[in-house]
Structure 1
């Protein structure tokens, strides 16, 4: 089992790295070259850079993912692909994507996109809070302890 992170805008990378290392699970951060950093990652953590094109990180994550791996993403499309492949998929706000909730999430995303396309304004995501951070940590540790 490994942990794959859609890392471009992931606000919980530090939690993933810390808890993943504690559980001795490899962590792979997939990010675009536009987020390049010379910061050296700790052992057990690998950074893979991809082109800045749309969905480049998603494609690489799906190429690397094997059944049972953990994927952390806020992208509903990637989450859907991960679920179909048998992955455990988590959102950084502390909820799991499931076969029961993914269709509704994708439908909501589609309807919002259509509304914006027709000129309507839609609400963006709520700000990320300390409570969200702790909710993610609890869920992440629960998932790790269940499968490791």
Structure 2
């Protein structure tokens, strides 16, 4: 099948995602299929466009499930930098919950920063955590998701369930 006939698919790394309600609203508005992937049962709206996927609690099981399916015509929502890297390499659009897009140009620096912070934490350095999620982050996310969906539609990808 010609990839431009394929529907847009949205994959959500859902266990710690603060923008799930926003994703559901935008997906319904655009007619985009959503897979909400987690290690535990999560409530999702009853909709033919939204599917809950519960994976094993194995290390990176949700990440592996998403990465195996993400590619051109899909959008991945995650704060997990290694998962974002895998999905960007597969050709997917990747957006963090704060609206920050991960691209071929930005993912290398994001991985390097993550690895540096991990090394500092391992050496006992106090590095703090991420700043609290804000209404500005929510707004930036909504805008970035809308932009990504519209970019894929302009590229010929469609809406709805295949």
Scaled by the length of structure 2, what TM-score is found? 0.85
Q: Flag the structure with more relative contact order, 1 or 2, with Cα contacts below 8 A and sequence separation at least 6.
A: 2
Match of 1:7 among 14, 18, 26: 14
Q: Specify the alignment match of 2:32 in structure 1.
A: 25
Over residues 39-93 of structure 1, what are the superposed CA-to-partner deviations in whole Å (9 max), with x where a residue is unaligned? 6532210000011222110000012223221000000000000011000000010
Q: Work out the number of aligned pairs and report it.
A: 146
1:119–1:96 CA distance, 2 compared to 1 (3 A): same
Picking from 13, 16, 25, the partner of 2:23 is: 16
User: What does 1:1-148 align with in structure 2 at a 5 Å threshold?
Assistant: 1-33=8-40, 36-37=41-42, 41-148=46-153
Which deviates more from structure 2 when the two are superposed, residues 58-67 or residues 97-106?
A: 58-67
Partner SS for 1:115: helix
Structure 2, gaps ≥5 residues long: 1-7, 154-162
CA distance in 2, matches of 1:71, 1:31: 13
Structure 2 contact 33–50 (Cα < 8 Å) conserved: yes
Distance 2:135 2:105 in 1: 27
Q: Indicate if the aligned counterparts of 2:44 and 2:50 stay in contact, CA closer than 8 A.
A: no
Q: Distance in 2 between matches of 1:82 and 1:40?
A: 25
